[in-house]
Amino acid sequence: MRAKKATARPELNTSNMQAEAVSVLAFLQSVDLERVRSEKERAQSQRLLIKGARTSDKGDPQKAAKFYLQAYRMDPENKKALALLGNLLVRSGQRQEAIAVFERLIDLGKLEPSVIFDVANLAASLEMLPAAENLLASYVQLSPDDPRGYTTLSGIKRSLGKYDDAIAMLKFAIEQNPTAAILWESLGVAVGEDRNVDASKPFFDEAIRLKPDMGAAYANIGLQYNSEGRFEEGLPVLEKGAKLLPGSANTRFNLAHALIGTGDLRRGWEEYAWRLDKARPDTINYTHGLPRWQGEDISDKVILVCDEQGLGDLFLFATMFKDLIARAKHCIFEVDHRLITLFQRSFPEATFHRNVTYRVNARLHRSYRWMDDLEQKPDLATEAGTLPQFLRTDLSDFPDENPYLKPDPERVAIWRERFDALGPGLKVGLTWRGGLRSVARDRSYTTMDDYGPILSVPDVQFINCMYSDASEEIAFAKENYGVTIHDWDDIDRRDDLEAAAAYAAALDQMISIRSSPGAIASAVATPTAIMQRARGSMMLGTDNDPWYPSRKIFYAERREDWPDGPIERVAEHLRDLAKG
C-alpha cells in the first residue's frame, strides 16, 4: 500500500503547461523590446507579478504563467517577471521554454541580486552547472550576508567535484555568520560526501544545536549513513528527519533504504513506495489508468507489471516474476525492448511488451496505447519495484536458488567454444565501471589501476564484459600487468542483450561492480562476485545477497578501504577457484 502523505502539496498541471509551450515561445518573440514604457505600465507590470505569484501558490501554474508573460510584455525590462516565469517553466518540466527565458534574462544585462539567484537556480535545474556556478559566485559577492548563496553554490561545486573549494567557502561563510544553522548543515553535507559521515557529524550536530527542528540536517546525515552501509546508525536519524519533514519524498525514500538495509522489510517496502512520488524529478508518469494491485487475490485477474528505474533494478525485481505468474490468471510485463525475446523465452507463460517511453520536456512518461491490441487486457497494474511489498516481506520468502533467465543455447555454445579456444584456466569476465559517468558514480567504480591483485592470479583467462568502450583500459592492463583481457569486435553488449546473456552464461566466473553485466550474469546462473563501496540496502541486513544466493558480495567495511579491500578479497577468492 502506498505510503500516505502527512502534508498536502499542490500538484502542477503539467499537461496544461505543456500545451502552452509553443505559445510561450511565440509570446516572447512578439514582445516589442524597443517600445518606451510609461510609469503606469511599469506599476501595472509589478501588480501582475504579485497576481502571478499568488496564483502559482494556489496551484494554477498555467494562469500564473500568463500573468508573468503579461507583466513582461507590459515592461520588457522587468527581469523579475522573466525569472519567475523561468522557474515556473522548470517546475512544470518545460526545459526548452525555460532555456529561452534564461537566455533572454542574460541578454538584459546587469541583474538585481535576487534575480541572479533565481536565474542561477534555473541554470542549475537545467544542468547548466558552470553557468550556475558563475552566477552564484556573483550573487555571493553582491549579497555576502545571505547564507542561501553559499549553500546553493556549495551544492553546485559538489556536483562538479570541487569539494575543497566548497568546504573552504563554507568555512569562510561560517566565520562571518557562525549562528546560521544552514551553513553548518551544508558544511556537513560537503565534508560527508568528500570524507565520511564521522568527519561530518560535528557540523550536523552544531546545525541541530542552533536549530533543533532542522529536518534537513537529520535527513542528510541519515543519507550519509546509508551511503556507507551503516543502516542501523542511520535509521533513527532518518526516522527523526521523516517526522520533521513528513511530506519529503526523498527523506521517506532514504528512510525506506535504511529500513530495508536493517532487514525490516515490511516497513521498508511500504516506505519504498515514496520513490513513486511525483515530487521526485526522476519519477515516471504511468498513463495506463488502471487500478493498482494492493496484494489481493489475482487468480482470476490479468495484471500489468510496469518497468521502472534501470536495467540492474529490473533484473533484481524480475527474480519475483515466477512467483507473480503463479498467483495471477495472466501476467503482462513491460520491459526494455532489448530484453523482449530473452524474457519471453524465460517465462513463456507470460506476455512481454517493450516499454514505450517518451519525454515531455524533463519528465518521462509511458504510453499504453499498445494495450488496445491485446486479447487479454489487464485488470490491474503495479510497478516492478512494488512486487517485494507483497512477495518478499521476510527472508524466508527468498528461494535458495534463483537463476531465471534462459539465454539462447546455440549462442551460449558459440561463446563457450570461443572462450575454450583461449587456452586452459578459468574463463573470468570483468566489469570495472559503468557506462554512465559522473562525480558521484565514479566514486563507486573501480579503475584498471586497482586491478593488479586480480590480474596477477595465475591460470585465468580474463574476458572483457564492459558494455562501453574499454580499449584504453585493456591496453593499460597489457602494458602495465602483461595480461591480456580478451575481447571481440563482433558483439554489442550494450544493445544486443540476447548476446550479452549468452556471453555471460559461457563464463566460469564474473567479477563486476554493481552494474547490469553483473546482474545479467547472476540471472543466467553464472557464479558472480560483486564488488561494492559499502553494504547495500538490497542485501536486506545480511552479509550477502538473498536475491541471488549464488552471488558473493565483497564490500568495503570502511570508506577508505574502497576499492583495495574488496579487490584483495576477490583476488583471494579467485585464487582459490583457480586452484580448485
Task: Give me the domain span that covers residue 91.
Answer: 1-109
> pLDDT per residue over 185-195, tens digit each?
999 999 999 99
Question: How far is residue 434 CA from its own chain's centroid?
Answer: 14
- The answer to whether residue 151 is domain-embedded is no
For residue 214, pLDDT beyond 70: yes
- The answer to whether residue 383 is domain-embedded is yes
Shared domain for 386 and 413, answered yes or no, is: no
- The answer to whether residue 272 is domain-embedded is no
Alpha carbon separation from 457 to 339, 402, 452, 460, 480 (Å, rounded):
34, 29, 9, 7, 15
Q: Which of 109, 128, 159 is the last residue of a domain?
A: 109
Shared domain for 423 and 329, answered yes or no, is: no
Lowest mean pLDDT among 144-158, 208-222, 304-318: 304-318
Shared domain for 440 and 565, answered yes or no, is: yes
Q: What does the buried/exposed string (b/e) look like for 78-109 if buried means 16 or more CB atoms within 10 Å of the residue's CB?
A: bbbbbbbbbbbbbbbbbbebbbbbbebbeeee
Q: What's the pLDDT at 495?
A: 95
- Measure the CA dihedral 242/248/250/253, to 10°: 50
- The answer to whether residue 386 is domain-embedded is yes
For residue 35, pLDDT beyond 80: no
Q: What's the pLDDT at 34?
A: 73
Q: Which of 109, 132, 147 is the last residue of a domain?
A: 109
Shared domain for 480 and 530, answered yes or no, is: yes
Residues in the chain: 580
Give percent of the chain above pLDDT 90.
72
For residue 97, pLDDT beyond 90: no
Shared domain for 564 and 493, answered yes or no, is: yes
> pLDDT per residue over 350-391, tens digit each?
999 999 998 775 678 999 999 999 989 999 999 999 999 999
What number is the average pLDDT over the span 485-501? 96
**Domain of 525: which CATH number?**
3.40.50.2000
How many structural domains comprise the chain? 3
Enter the C-alpha cell of residue 240. 527523526
What number is the average pLDDT over the span 245-263? 97
What number is the average pLDDT over the span 74-97? 80
For residue 126, pLDDT beyond 50: yes
For residue 431, pLDDT beyond 80: yes
Cα gap 437→472, rounded to integer Å: 16
- The answer to whether residue 232 is domain-embedded is no
For residue 321, pLDDT beyond 80: yes
Alpha carbon separation from 187 to 139, 146, 173, 174, 204 (Å, rounded):
19, 15, 10, 9, 8
Q: Which of 393, 425, 443 is the last residue of a domain?
A: 393
Please say whether the beta carbons of 70 and 340 come within 8 A.
no
> pLDDT per residue over 464-475, tens digit each?
999 999 999 999
Shared domain for 357 and 430, answered yes or no, is: no
Q: What's the pLDDT at 434?
A: 86
Q: What's the pLDDT at 5?
A: 37
- The answer to whether residue 484 is domain-embedded is yes
Shared domain for 445 and 553, answered yes or no, is: yes
- The answer to whether residue 92 is domain-embedded is yes
Q: What's the pLDDT at 436?
A: 72
Shared domain for 376 and 420, answered yes or no, is: no
What number is the average pLDDT over the span 406-417? 98
Q: What's the pLDDT at 227?
A: 96
Cβ atoms within 10 A of the Cβ of 124, count? 21
**Domain of 81: which CATH number?**
1.25.40.10
Shared domain for 419 and 365, answered yes or no, is: no
Mean pLDDT score across all residues of the chain: 90
For residue 12, pLDDT beyond 80: no
pLDDT band at 6; cut points 50, 70, 90: very low
For residue 282, pLDDT beyond 50: yes
pLDDT band at 124; cut points 50, 70, 90: confident
Give percent of the chain above pLDDT 70.
95
Q: What's the pLDDT at 565?
A: 96
Q: Is the peptide bond before 563 cis (omega within 30 degrees of 0)?
A: yes
For residue 234, pLDDT beyond 80: yes
> pLDDT per residue over 153-193, tens digit each?
999 999 999 999 999 999 999 999 999 999 999 999 999 99
For residue 252, pLDDT beyond 70: yes
Q: What's the pLDDT at 362?
A: 62
What number is the average pLDDT over the span 1-24? 39
Shared domain for 348 and 444, answered yes or no, is: no
Shared domain for 565 and 424, answered yes or no, is: yes
What number is the average pLDDT over the span 81-91? 81
For residue 284, pLDDT beyond 60: yes
> pLDDT per residue over 445-461, tens digit each?
999 999 999 999 999 99
Q: What's the pLDDT at 361?
A: 58
Lowest mean pLDDT among 201-215, 328-342, 433-447, 560-574: 433-447
> pLDDT per residue over 46-69, tens digit each?
999 999 889 888 878 888 888 988
**Angle at alpha carbon of residue 534, lines to 531 and 535, rounded to 5°:** 95
Q: What's the pLDDT at 91?
A: 72
Q: What's the pLDDT at 23?
A: 66
List Cβ neighbours of 178 (8 Å cut-off, separation of 6 or more).
none
Shared domain for 2 and 77, answered yes or no, is: yes
Q: What's the pLDDT at 1?
A: 35
Q: What's the pLDDT at 74?
A: 87
More confident residue, 75 or 539: 539
- The answer to whether residue 54 is domain-embedded is yes
> pLDDT per residue over 474-489, tens digit each?
999 999 999 999 999 9
